[in-house]
Amino acid sequence: MAQAPPRRFYLLTSPRTASNLVIRILNLPNQPSLLQDTKYEYFFGPVLGWKFQHHTIGKHVDELSEEEKNELKHSYQVCFDALSIQVDTAAPQRKNMFVKEHVGWLTDPVAETKFVFGEHSTCEQPWTIQTSYASTHTALNETILPDEYLKTWLPTFLIRHPALTFPSIYRTTIDNEGQQAARDDPAHVLEMTMHWSRTLYDWYIQQEYLSQFNAENGAHWPVVLDADDVILNPQVMIRYSKVIDLDSSLLNFAWEAASSEELEQISKIERRMRSTISASTGILKEKASAGLSIGTEMSKWETEFGKEEAEKLASWVRLDYTDKAPDLHKPDSTTPNAASILGLPTELIHIIVDHLHPVDRVCLALTCKSLASAVLSAPRLCPTTWSRFNDQRYSWLLPESYSLILRLAHGWIPKDKLRYCWKCHKILPRKAEYFRKRLVYKKNPKWDAKLQIPKSTWEHMSKRDRYKHLIEMWCGSPLEDSSSVYCDFCREKNPAAPLIYPVVCPVCMEQELTFLWKIPRKPWFRKMLGKIFVFILKTIGVVIGLVIGVLVWIIRTVFTQGRKGWKAICS
């Protein structure tokens, strides 16, 4: 039987995902299927070093000088060439390759800029490293490597709960750079997210070439390794080692702590990054996320980093939770209630959204940021779905925007504190002092049936009492909203609801009841009005002149004809 061609295995990780532990267990230097005496990780580390040195982390790609761009591109290329040399050495020896890399270190600076500053923040084309392959760069590929090159690897994604990795990243920043630097470290926005792993995972699951390797060794590519499983279940690593053609009998589950001489040989930052693994003699089970709750973690972070920084961490963890692949998801560990909709993966929220009327989608999206991002990212939502709701030009044509307002008014606002005014379309408080400051009080409001008070009573009220009545009508009304129109839900609840005059806010009411038309004080308007008046007068003058002329002519004709006739009779 012909021997299978050598394989390339990529372990794609993020910082603080227990990747050093995985490498330690796999015992790579003693595995006969792999190339010996080589580097197994961080080929792109020097790029990060360059960015640190030139303070370009988190910088907009358009702000880099041409020289900086060229140097950075060159740095990526040098790293890639070092990796290629190793790949080229392994192939003729029929050895497999196993390389670990942080996905963030492979990320294209243009994709980083778009992630931080917005999709349309730059016109720069994606950067792509020169390889011996074609250089296609499809949308989900946010790395500096072309599609064709990524397809030469079999990918494994190592993931760990963000409530453990993010504070761990924060802690190492404090130790390496100090407390103040950690507070406004521009790298955190890029690091405190699973976006890069998630997007590359999404790219890989679309690649058909992986299916031909699926049956081999019981693997299903891309493989997802959860740090929790690595820590709690040794069987997982034994199975994984078989998937990647390693000898499982050589795996390491216990080792000696690193000696001080060994620690002396590595740099200070690296020493900090490896501190857990160096001090350990085996797997530390307390590093797993089982039983983790954000609330408890949050109070620990507050003590450790301060309230403001703890809130920042919590928001990164929460935002990230909607950005994870479904199989990376464990709703019971971060959300307080396992049945909460927030615990559902984005894909399931998309299915729910698909069944909703567009108005209800808006209402769902308005409940919180993570649901908003899930709703907005739902497929089959195109601009035309929304234009009927947000384009005021068509509001008279299509009733949808009205039904949206209605549902917003009936739905989620706390009715005891806020009410919706159907006239100015504002949601306003039920507080008297809010309106006392905003009313003009210049004129005395006239009576109207909407006031729900007899005309005679109104006539006897002082101006002050009339204004008081306008405010009380709004603030004290038992009605939940002022539209008097019921949505389907509310109509079912109250089938015999009486039809009454809608209550509008005191500001709208004052405008309506004190309205009196006057000639605007604009000179051009008055001038034009004068001209029209003169024109009308002249026209009337001409018409009157004509009528008088015709009458005089008729009288004269009748008179002369009569005289002629009279003379004829007499003579």
Closest CA to 192 of 309, 37, 85: 309
What is the rounded distance in angstroms from the CA atom of residue 116 to the CA atom of residue 110? Answer: 10
Considering Cα of 421, then 422, then 424, then 425, what sign does the dihedral take? positive
Taking the least distance from each CB to Zn ion, the nearer of 424 and 542 is 424
Instruction: Please state, in angstroms and as integers, the Cα–Cα distance from residue 56 to each residue in 68, 113, 421, following that order.
Output: 9, 11, 51
Least Å distance between CB 513 and Zn ion?
13
DSSP code string of 491-527:
HHH-TTPPP-PPPPPHHHHHHHHT------S-HHHHH
Q: Find where tokens 């296609």 sit.
A: 136
Instruction: Please state, in angstroms and as integers, the Cα–Cα distance from residue 181 to each residue in 90, 185, 234, 454, following that order.
Output: 42, 6, 38, 70
Closest CA to 250 of 235, 239, 238: 238
Least Å distance between CB 240 and Zn ion?
55
How distant is the alpha carbon of residue 564 from its chain centre? 102
List interacting residues with Zn ion (CB under 5 A): 410, 421, 423-424, 487, 490, 505, 508
Taking the least distance from each CB to Zn ion, the nearer of 304 and 512 is 512
Taking the least distance from each CB to Zn ion, the nearer of 375 and 421 is 421
Query: To which H or E segment does residue 63 belong?
Result: none
DSSP code string of 465-499:
HHHHHHHHHHHS--SS-SS----HHHHHH-TTPPP
Taking the least distance from each CB to Zn ion, the nearer of 44 and 435 is 435
Least Å distance between CB 460 and Zn ion?
27
Question: Which tokens sit at 373?
Answer: 């991002």
State the Cα torsion 288-289-295-299 to the nearest 10°.
Answer: 20
CB atoms within 10 A of CB 7: 18
Least Å distance between CB 519 and Zn ion?
27
Least Å distance between CB 453 and Zn ion?
19
Taking the least distance from each CB to Zn ion, the nearer of 183 and 415 is 415
How distant is the alpha carbon of residue 109 from its chain centre? 21
Least Å distance between CB 372 and Zn ion?
22
CB atoms within 10 A of CB 47: 22
Burial of 379 from C-beta contacts in 10 A (0-12 / 13-18 / 19+): exposed
Taking the least distance from each CB to Zn ion, the nearer of 167 and 506 is 506
Residue nearest to Zn ion as judged by C-beta position:
410
Least Å distance between CB 506 and Zn ion?
8
Question: Which tokens sit at 291?
Answer: 């039983």
Taking the least distance from each CB to Zn ion, the nearer of 50 and 402 is 402
Burial of 487 from C-beta contacts in 10 A (0-12 / 13-18 / 19+): middle
Taking the least distance from each CB to Zn ion, the nearer of 242 and 423 is 423
Least Å distance between CB 497 and Zn ion?
11
Taking the least distance from each CB to Zn ion, the nearer of 67 and 416 is 416
Least Å distance between CB 454 and Zn ion?
25
Taking the least distance from each CB to Zn ion, the nearer of 489 and 533 is 489
Least Å distance between CB 431 and Zn ion?
15
CB 29 within 8 A of CB 95: no
